[in-house]
Amino acid sequence: MPFSAYKTIDAVVKEFQITYTKSNFIIETEFPIPDYFREDLEIVIQDGAADCSEYAICENMIYPVLKEIWKQYRRKFILWSHKSL
């Protein structure tokens, strides 16, 4: 059965007999946000077509933000995109 057939987390938990635990495991870490990044994001939001499709949102908003955050953790994690699981 494809994963998209499951409508709730409860259905997945029941089907696969797993335990679901919700927890806040991310520790906030302050880091500077470069001015060029802020300016670029503002231009995309104001003048670009950043929200015209799911792909546009991913490419113009989500991935650039993730990449900027990833830079702080790049020695421990890798950031990849559009990789089939």
Sign (positive or negative) of CA dihedral 51, 56, 59, 62 = positive
User: What is the pLDDT at residue 17?
Assistant: 93
pLDDT tens digits for range 38-71:
999 999 999 988 778 888 888 899 999 999 999 9
pTM, two decimal places: 0.62
**C-alpha neighbours within 13 Å on the C-beta side of residue 73:** 14
pLDDT tens digits for range 6-47:
888 888 889 999 998 888 887 888 889 999 999 999 999 999
